Every structure is written in structure tokens, then in C-alpha cells.
């Protein structure tokens, strides 16, 4: 008669059967090994060190400790097999809305950021001075995604505008309060990285230049950049750009329609080129109404290439056409940017724009162990912009796993 398995045998059996059933690339073993985690065999793309080649990455605690052509897997407690995959620094998305439950467009951060390869996200204006404490307390401090903030110059942030109430946060200019914004920023310097303003007519009415002046005043007082949402404004873009300085950011730069970067003859406005020349950054901020393939194709043909690619992910685009940052990056592969150019615009460049602490947006040893693993799918994919225009592409980045501060997060595609 067969005796029941001992506890030890049982554990052994359970361990091996779960290892078999797990389709995850993660293997666990060797408690006494030198590294905590090894990401093996992937094509590592890191523009901070001009790298696009097969490398292994060793992690101890929350730091990257080694990057080499070959690191023995017996040296690590856990191994992620990334062979055939793309490995990048944890992505940085500088335009998202994650004030879930307060700003009507807010979405939960973790399922949409860290589960999709984005380890660091910037909430772009969901909160103003009055609502920032809640964003800190109920979102930033509990999310696994590292969240920074652009403070809306309106005290109410983006709490007023929804599909059922199309009135934005600056229709009453008295809500723009630079003094209060400055005080809030001074008290929250660890999370606030700049000031945000939206200038569309249903948000700021016909006093956009006045409102921009107040946002300018706050940004200058604290020495931080200003992110300006363009498009559909009362005043022409050239008057808005005239108030923007080196280090400031134009988001929605490839939007279609009125108030964009192209003139009536589809040429990039000279004022846009002048702004770029003096150090104003162009950002994408895809969003529900702010990315046009047509504008993108025309601008790229005139050699205007935004330095950062962000999603403007929110409630009204997360189920399409944006989905996630990786899909937005895939659209730029379709537009003809190289994989290296695309990754640079969601890692190294955004880290530089906001002067993030050393170690973010890079895989250099000593840096924060934030790593994203993607499958680069080959096939026929249809991509849609904010206006419903479609393009066929042949490559698509699919987030597979994310590591932040040395900790592994799964994704919808491969649970860890």
C-alpha cells in the first residue's frame, strides 16, 4: 500500500507542478544567491548608455548592480527569462490622469501604468491646490506606480469637466490662484514637478492669455516648468507660445484641427520652430482628442519630432484609441521612428525634461531597478488616432512584465 506523501515530498511536488503550470518566464530558487533578480537574454534598449543589444541585468534590493553580456543564472535567486523580448528602463509617462474618483476622467494608476510597463507617471493637472492633498493621500501614497504631479493652476483641478458637464476649471478666472499654487508646491516639492494649464475654450474661455500669465507667475516663482495643453483655444497658438520659456512643455503637439502646430497650408508654424529652438519641449499627450496621424505625418516630414511620447491616458480613451503607453509608442513605430527613438522618448528624455532623480529612465548600474519587458509582436495591426483615422502597422509592443524597485509586477498578458 502506498503511504501518503510526507510534508516534504508534498511541498516538492507542489513546487514542481506549479512551476510546470506557470506560463510565466519567472523562475524562483537559490535563496543564498548573490543577486535577488536576474533578467536574462533580452534585447536591452537604453539610450542613456547608447545601448541596443542582448544583455543580462542583475538586481540586488532596489538597485541595478550589473549589466553584462552574460551573467550566470546560478548567481540569482530569481530569474526572468527575457530571451526574444525587449527590455527597457521602466517607462515614464509624463501625461496621465490617475485621480480616480475625483477628476471625472481619472483612472486607477496601477492597472494602467505599472501593469503596462510604466513605473513612473506624471499626473498632468488632475489636481489643483485644493484637491492635491487628496491625490497625495488616496492615490500617490498607496499606488505601486511612482507618481509625480503637475499642479493645475486652477484650485479645483480637473474636477469640473465631464461628458455631462462640459465646463472646465478656468471658466472663472478667479479659480486661478498663483499664490495658493506656490504655497502648495513649496509644501509638496517631493511630488510636484511643475504647473499645468489647459487652454481650450470650454475650459478657459476667452481669457486664456490672462490665465496663462497666472500659471507663468506660479511656475516662475517656484522655478519649475509649465505644461501647456494646446488646441481649440480662444487666442492663437503663436500668442501662447510667446509666453513659454526654455524647459516648458507643449502637450498635444500632434493634435489635429484648430490651434495645432500646422498653419493653413500644413506647414509647421515658424513660432513653433522658434519655441523649440529656445528650449520648449514638444510632448505628444495622445488623449481622446489630441493625436492625429495626419498631423504627425506632416510634422515628421518637416523634421519636427517631439522629444517625449506620452499617453494622456484617462477614462475616455483607456478603452481606445489610447489603451496604454505601449500602444502609443507602437503608433510611432508605424510612423517610422526606430524602436530606439521611441523608447528614448518614454524613458531617458522624460527623465531629463523633469530632472528626475538620477537612476530613473536608465539601466545603468547603481540606478533604480525599474525595468520593463515587452514582446515586440510582428503581424498586421490596425491603429486608430483621436479623430478615428486608421493606419496599418506591422509591429506592436506588448507589455509582458514590469520590475519596479526590484519587485516584479505581472501584466494582463503574463501573470507573475
Q: Which residues bind Zn ion (CB under 5 A)?
A: 124, 312
Residue closer to Zn ion by CB (options 248, 312) is 312
Residue closer to Zn ion by CB (options 37, 118) is 118
Min separation Cβ 230 and Zn ion, Å: 11
Q: How far apart are CA 268 and CA 266, in angstroms?
A: 7
338 within 8 A of 326, measured Cβ to Cβ? no
Min separation Cβ 97 and Zn ion, Å: 6
Q: Which of 261, 377, 383, 394 lies closest to 324, judged by CA? A: 383
Min separation Cβ 313 and Zn ion, Å: 9
Residue closer to Zn ion by CB (options 312, 385) is 312
The region, left, alpha or beta by phi > 0 then psi within -120 to 50, assigned to residue 266 is: left
SS3 19: helix
Min separation Cβ 251 and Zn ion, Å: 7
Residue closer to Zn ion by CB (options 387, 416) is 387
Residue closer to Zn ion by CB (options 46, 312) is 312
Min separation Cβ 351 and Zn ion, Å: 20
Min separation Cβ 285 and Zn ion, Å: 6
DSSP track, 65-133: EEEES---GGGEEEEEE-TTSEEEEPEEEEEE---TTTSTT---HHHHTGGGTEEEEEEESS--TTTHH
DSSP state of 1: -
Residue showing the smallest CB distance to Zn ion in the complex: 312
Placement of cell 491603429 in the chain: 383
Residue closer to Zn ion by CB (options 125, 205) is 125
Contacts (Cβ under 8 Å, ≥6 apart) of 346: 91, 92, 93, 308, 309, 310, 325, 329
SS3 211: helix
Amino acid at each position: 500500500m502506498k503511504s501518503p506523501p510526507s510534508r516534504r515530498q508534498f511541498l516538492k511536488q507542489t513546487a514542481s507542478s506549479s512551476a510546470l503550470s506557470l506560463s510565466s518566464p519567472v523562475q524562483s530558487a537559490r535563496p543564498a544567491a548573490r543577486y535577488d533578480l536576474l533578467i536574462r537574454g533580452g534585447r536591452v534598449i537604453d539610450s542613456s548608455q547608447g545601448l541596443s543589444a542582448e544583455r543580462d541585468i542583475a538586481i540586488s534590493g532596489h538597485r541595478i548592480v550589473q549589466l553584462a553580456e552574460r551573467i550566470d543564472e546560478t548567481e540569482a535567486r530569481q530569474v526572468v527569462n527575457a530571451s526574444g523580448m525587449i527590455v527597457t528602463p521602466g517607462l515614464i509617462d509624463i501625461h496621465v490622469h490617475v485621480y480616480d474618483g475625483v477628476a471625472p476622467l481619472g483612472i486607477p494608476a496601477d492597472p494602467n501604468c505599472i501593469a503596462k510597463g510604466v513605473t513612473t507617471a506624471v499626473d498632468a493637472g488632475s489636481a489643483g491646490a485644493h484637491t492635491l492633498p487628496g491625490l497625495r493621500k488616496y492615490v500617490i501614497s498607496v499606488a505601486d506606480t511612482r507618481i509625480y504631479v503637475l499642479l493645475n493652476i486652477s484650485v479645483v483641478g480637473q474636477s469640473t469637466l465631464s461628458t455631462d458637464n462640459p465646463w472646465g476649471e478656468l471658466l472663472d478666472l478667479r479659480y486661478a490662484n498663483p499664490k495658493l499654487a506656490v504655497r502648495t508646491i513649496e509644501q509638496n516639492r517631493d511630488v510636484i514637478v511643475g504647473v499645468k494649464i489647459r487652454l481650450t475654450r470650454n475650459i478657459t474661455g476667452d481669457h486664456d492669455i490672462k490665465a496663462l500669465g497666472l500659471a507663468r507667475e506660479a511656475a516662475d516663482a517656484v522655478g519649475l516648468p509649465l505644461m501647456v495643453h494646446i488646441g481649440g483655444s480662444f487666442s492663437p497658438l503663436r500668442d501662447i507660445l510667446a509666453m513659454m520659456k526654455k524647459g516648458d512643455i507643449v502637450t498635444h503637439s500632434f493634435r489635429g484641427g484648430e490651434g495645432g502646430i500646422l498653419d493653413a497650408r500644413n506647414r509647421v508654424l515658424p513660432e513653433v520652430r522658434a519655441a523649440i529652438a529656445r528650449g520648449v519641449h514638444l510632448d505628444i499627450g495622445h488623449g481622446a482628442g489630441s493625436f492625429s496621424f495626419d498631423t504627425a505625418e506632416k510634422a515628421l516630414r518637416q523634421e519636427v519630432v517631439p522629444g517625449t511620447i506620452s499617453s494622456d491616458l484617462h477614462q475616455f480613451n483607456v478603452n481606445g484609441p489610447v489603451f496604454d503607453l505601449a500602444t502609443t509608442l507602437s503608433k510611432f513605430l508605424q510612423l517610422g521612428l526606430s524602436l530606439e527613438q521611441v523608447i528614448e522618448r518614454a524613458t531617458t528624455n522624460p527623465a531629463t525634461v523633469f530632472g528626475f532623480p538620477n537612476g530613473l529612465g536608465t539601466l545603468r548600474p547603481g540606478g533604480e531597478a525599474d525595468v520593463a519587458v515587452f514582446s515586440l509582436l510582428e503581424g498586421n495591426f490596425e491603429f486608430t488616432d483621436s479623430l478615428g483615422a486608421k493606419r496599418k502597422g506591422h509591429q506592436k509592443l506588448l507589455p509582458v512584465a514590469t520590475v519596479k524597485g526590484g519587485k516584479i509586477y505581472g501584466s494582463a498578458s503574463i501573470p507573475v
